Amino acid sequence: MSVSKTDLAKIHIAKSQLGMSDDVYRDMLQRVAGVRSAKDIPATRLAGVFTELKRLGFKPSSKAGRTVNSVASGNKALMSKINALLADAGRPMAYADAMAKRMFGVDRVEWCGQENLRKIVAALTYDQRRHS
């Protein structure tokens, strides 16, 4: 495997952020890296793929300062609750990311589905009650 999970995730975030259809996305990968799937990108072509995605308008963001705006609209209410519980406990978003990783094997809380977000809210609520 030549592409790390982190880089693979960034590529898929870029695809989503740019609103690329699957065909356009795969054509871009073929043109830039000579492959039709991101997992097959050679390490020597990875930088070129990111350069092309940025040229097309992708704006990578850092983990710092992530908010509810960075998630799908269906999960905004749950993410707002998570943000509030984290703020109340004085914890960073990285804390929720670590919970998602430990509980569900997902690197970022934003990538969790509604059921898993509800479980994270429950865990944070339980933690809040324990510390009050």
Residues 85 and 78: beta-carbon distance below 8 Å: no
Q: How many Cα atoms occupy the beta-carbon half-sphere of 88 within 13 Å?
A: 15
In a domain, 99, yes or no: yes
Residues 111 and 75: beta-carbon distance below 8 Å: no
When pLDDT is averaged across residues 55-84 and rounded to a whole number, the result is 71
Supply the pTM of this predicted model. 0.48
In a domain, 62, yes or no: no
The count of residues in the chain is 132
Tell me, what's the pLDDT at 33? 93
When pLDDT is averaged across residues 85-102 and rounded to a whole number, the result is 90
pLDDT at 69 over 60: no
CA 109 to centroid of chain Cα atoms: 8
End-to-end CA distance of the chain: 47
In a domain, 60, yes or no: no
Q: Which two tokens stand for residue 33?
A: 């890296």
Residues 6 or more apart whose Cβ sits within 8 Å of residue 9 = 107, 108, 111
Tell me, what's the pLDDT at 74? 62
Confidence of residue 62 (pLDDT cuts 50, 70, 90): low
pLDDT at 2 over 70: no
Containing structural domain, residue 80: 68-130
pLDDT at 64 over 50: no
In a domain, 40, yes or no: yes
How many folded domains does the chain comprise? 2
Q: Which two tokens stand for residue 44?
A: 């020597």
What's the maximum distance between 2 C-alpha atoms anywhere in the chain? 56
